[in-house]
């Protein structure tokens, strides 16, 4: 029986709602539960999932809507008690922090007149307008929000450039500014290597490997995944490179990107070739054959980190040692396939790229949504893809989707190895290894019951300073029987070796060539950008309060903007108000 409860004018952010839904789903007697704000789009989702009745049509966009499929009335009462307790716990947790809360831009600016960065994590259709408000108030922008129209991204970034400000994002997962981790980021040592990347977990993998290799980060600037597209033309990337080139704390510059538009790549490389600092660049999917005089190109994220540390320290490093494997793996004759189950999109992309090279698969082939590789039983799946996260948290926060895939994989007789990542740091699950280790043990037992050995090979993207406790997370993985390596590259290489294939390790001593490149002006960054990198950011946090808590923990001054949709989320009225405000 379907029960609908509407709590008027009780806005909650999407991550809180997803976590609440997961918690309520575990209650005995609940067949299905959905907790969403009453926007038209969300009501449509409820219709499509069978969690709708006419009562929901009365909901306003700012109303909290709870749909419960349960046979017994007492179960509904238990669910509502849990909802109230969840909301109360959120309030008390936030109240324990010394973060001032405001409800308007005027109040936010009054509370912190020297603020220089807005961190935005609200629904995508509202994010561009709030970014424009931040820029109009002289703040740089870190836009965690996704589902922002590319036209809005261009509009926001062009306006920022006119004002000498930096926009990181949209869909920017991570940054480290002045030693302060922002959003989904790791705690890394301070050092002289500056990183800029159009890739969240790509940045995380490189900066955590740099930390493990004994070096440190001056800054890590995220650009958002579309920045190097033809539409955006690397606005943030180019300004970020100029900023790191000028920054006194940065002696080595690292650039990370998935495949950029060819003309944009040329622009970026031209600028890198003209700055007066050594550079390491990785354009993922490319296999470098030469260096430029001051730019070293890397093949893998691990190699990117190694080259950067070599330049920073002036010494040569060795590649990480490979995992030791049993002399007899005990695989059946049909166990010849690898399945990658990744929470980090860039880590999944790297795994798929390396597997295509080793298995000689056409790198331009297209696959089903959510898949980065599908070839004769070999698969790499990006579980952070939109198709897997609609209506539930990102897999770095909630492992449910991956656990389901792991159980399904244990029943596939052709799979020999499951590749996986475990991402630590702020924003990620506080103890993912505890649940993941149980899923791995269960899968290995299921395979053993059918007379097969199933291997799990992975790496941890994190540092010993991260809040999850790196050593305990590693121990849980090892105790579960997983084979753990030092990097994603090493994990992929190990998995391929287990099925009789090798990844060719490129030389880190490539020939140097001179290229004819477009003219690039290495102009100085604006004073506002220089000042952003000179100290810990002073932040107005718009959206997820957990981001404010983490920033405050790391020593940044923070004001929490308790954002609510304009006009209660009514799109028509919101647009009218927006026009009136510009008159």
Q: Could you tell me which CATH number the domain at 99-171+537-583 has?
A: 3.40.50.720
Banded model confidence at residue 95, pLDDT cuts 50, 70, 90: very low
The correct CATH number of 337-498 out of 3.40.50.261, 3.40.50.740, 3.20.20.105, 3.40.50.720 is: 3.40.50.261
pLDDT of residue 574: 52
Give DSSP secondary structure letters for 153-179. HHHHHHHHHHHT--EE-SS--EEEETT
Regarding the domain delimited by 2-95, which CATH topology (the fold level of the hierarchy) does it fall under?
A: Alpha-Beta Plaits (3.30.70)
The reported pLDDT for the residue numbered 213 is: 95
pLDDT at 570: 57
Cβ atoms of residues 166 and 532 within 8 Å: yes
Q: What is the pLDDT of residues 271-282, one digit of tens each?
A: 999 999 999 999
Residue 369's CB is within 10 A of a number of other CB atoms, namely: 10
Query: 286-298: buried (b, 16+ CB within 10 Å) or exposed (e) per residue?
Result: eebeebbeebbbb
For the segment 16-30, the average pLDDT, to the nearest whole number, is 82
What 8-state DSSP symbol labels residue 524? P
pLDDT at 506 over 80: no
**Pairwise pLDDT comparison (509 vs 245), residue with the higher score:** 245
The residues near 496 (Cβ < 8 Å, ≥ 6 apart) are 338, 354, 355, 358, 502, 503
CA distances from 540 to 105, 147, 509 (A): 9, 21, 45
Average pLDDT in the chain: 91
Q: What are phi and psi of 560, to 5 degrees?
A: -90, 115
Statement: residue 129 has pLDDT above 50: yes
Average pLDDT over residues 237-262: 97
Question: What pLDDT was estimated at residue 321?
Answer: 61
**pLDDT higher than 60, residue 569:** no
pLDDT digits (tens, 9 = 90+) for 156-184: 999 999 999 999 999 999 999 999 999 99
Supply the DSSP string of 471-488, one letter for each residue: HHHHHHHHHTT-EEESSH
Mean pLDDT on 202-224: 97
Output the pLDDT for position 97.
Answer: 59
DSSP 390-440: TTS--TTT--HHHHHHHHHHTT-TTEEEEEEEEE-STTS-TTHHHHHHHHH
pLDDT > 70 fraction of the chain, expressed in percent and rounded: 94
φ, ψ for residue 78, nearest 5 deg: -65, -40
Chain region(s) in the chain for CATH 3.30.70? 2-95
Q: Which of 9-23, 247-261, 373-387 has the lowest mean pLDDT?
A: 9-23
Distance from C-alpha of 324 to C-alpha of 500, rounded to nearest angstrom: 15
In this predicted structure, the answer to whether residue 566 has a pLDDT above a threshold of 80 is no
Residue 535 DSSP class: S
Mean pLDDT of all residues in 242-267: 97
Which pLDDT does position 381 carry in this prediction? Answer: 98
Residue 447, classified by CB atoms within 10 Å of its CB into exposed (0-12), middle (13-18) or buried (19+), is buried
pLDDT digits (tens, 9 = 90+) for 430-454: 999 999 999 999 999 999 999 999 9
Tens of pLDDT along 302-352? 999 999 999 999 998 876 667 788 889 999 999 999 999 999 999 999 999
pLDDT in tens, 402-411: 999 999 999 9
Q: How many CB atoms lie within 10 A of CB 363?
A: 13
pLDDT of residue 9: 84
Half-sphere exposure of 265 (CA within 13 A, CB side): 13
Range(s) within the chain of domains with CATH label 3.40.50.720: 99-171+537-583
pLDDT of residue 362 exceeding 80, the answer is yes
Residues of the chain with CATH 3.40.50.261: 172-319+511-534, 337-498
What whole-number percentage of the chain has pLDDT above 90? 74
Fold category of 172-319+511-534 in CATH:
Rossmann fold (3.40.50)
Whether the predicted pLDDT of 567 surpasses 60? no
Token representation of residue 147: 């589902």
- Position 154 scores a pLDDT of 98
Phi and psi for 244 in degrees, rounded to 5?
-70, -35
The reported pLDDT for the residue numbered 349 is: 97
Q: What are phi and psi of 505, to 5 degrees?
A: -90, 115
In 211-355, the DSSP E strands lie at 217-222, 252-257, 279-283, 295-297, 337-342
Structure tokens given for 555: 């020593």
Q: How confident is the model at residue 571 (pLDDT cuts 50, 70, 90)?
A: low
């Amino acid at each position: 029986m379907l029960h609908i409860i509407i709590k008027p004018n009780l806005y909650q952010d999407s991550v809180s709602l997803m976590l609440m839904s997961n918690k309520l789903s575990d209650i005995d007697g609940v067949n299905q539960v959905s907790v969403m704000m009453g926007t038209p789009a969300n009501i449509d989702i409820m219709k499509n999932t069978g969690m709708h009745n006419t009562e929901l049509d009365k909901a306003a966009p700012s109303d909290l809507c709870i749909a419960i499929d349960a046979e017994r009335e007492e179960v509904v009462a238990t669910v509502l008690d849990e909802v109230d307790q969840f909301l109360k716990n959120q309030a008390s947790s936030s109240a324990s922090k010394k973060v001032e809360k405001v409800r308007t831009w005027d109040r936010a600016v009054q509370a912190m007149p020297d603020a220089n960065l807005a961190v935005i994590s609200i629904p995508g259709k509202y994010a561009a307008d709030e970014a424009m408000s931040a820029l109009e108030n002289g703040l740089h922008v870190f836009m965690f929000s996704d589902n922002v129209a590319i036209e809005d991204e261009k509009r926001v970034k062009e306006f920022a450039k006119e004002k000498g400000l930096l926009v990181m994002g949209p869909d920017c997962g991570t940054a480290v500014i002045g030693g302060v981790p922002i959003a989904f980021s790791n705690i890394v040592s301070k050092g002289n290597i500056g990183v800029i990347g159009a890739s969240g977990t790509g940045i995380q993998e490189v900066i955590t490997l740099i930390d493990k290799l004994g070096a440190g980060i001056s800054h890590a600037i995220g650009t958002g995944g579309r920045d190097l597209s033809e539409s955006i033309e690397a606005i943030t990337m180019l300004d970020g490179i100029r900023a790191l080139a000028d920054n006194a704390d940065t002696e080595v510059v690292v650039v990370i990107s998935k495949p950029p538009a060819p003309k944009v790549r040329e622009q970026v490389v031209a600028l890198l070739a003209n700055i007066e600092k050594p550079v390491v660049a990785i354009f993922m999917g490319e296999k470098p054959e030469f260096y430029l005089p001051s730019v070293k190109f890397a093949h893998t994220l691990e190699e990117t980190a190694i080259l950067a540390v070599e330049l920073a320290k002036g010494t040569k490093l060795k590649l990480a040692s490979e995992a030791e494997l049993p002399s007899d793996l005990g695989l059946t004759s049909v166990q010849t396939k690898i399945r990658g189950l990744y929470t980090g999109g860039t880590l999944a992309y790297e795994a798929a790229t390396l597997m295509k090279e080793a298995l000689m698969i056409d790198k331009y082939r297209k696959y089903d949504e959510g898949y980065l590789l599908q070839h004769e039983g070999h698969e790499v799946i990006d579980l952070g893809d939109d198709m897997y996260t609609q209506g539930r948290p990102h897999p770095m926060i909630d492992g449910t989707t991956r656990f389901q895939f792991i159980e399904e994989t244990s029943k596939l007789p052709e799979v020999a190895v499951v590749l996986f990542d475990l991402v630590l740091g702020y924003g990620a699950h506080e103890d993912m290894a505890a649940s993941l280790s149980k899923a791995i043990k269960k899968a290995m037992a299921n395979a053993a019951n059918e007379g097969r050995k199933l291997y799990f090979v992975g790496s941890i993207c994190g540092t010993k300073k991260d809040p999850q406790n790196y050593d305990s997370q590693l121990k849980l993985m090892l105790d579960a029987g997983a084979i753990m390596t030092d990097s994603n590259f090493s994990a992929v290489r190990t998995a391929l070796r287990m099925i009789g294939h090798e990844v060719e390790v490129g030389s880190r001593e490539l020939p140097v060539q001179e290229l004819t490149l477009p003219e690039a002006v290495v102009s100085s960054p604006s004073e506002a950008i220089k000042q952003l990198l000179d100290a810990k950011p002073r932040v107005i946090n718009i959206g997820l309060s957990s981001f404010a808590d983490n920033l405050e923990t790391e020593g940044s001054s923070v004001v929490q903007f308790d954002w609510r949709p304009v006009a209660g989320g009514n799109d028509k009225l919101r647009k009218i108000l927006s026009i009136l405000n510009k008159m």
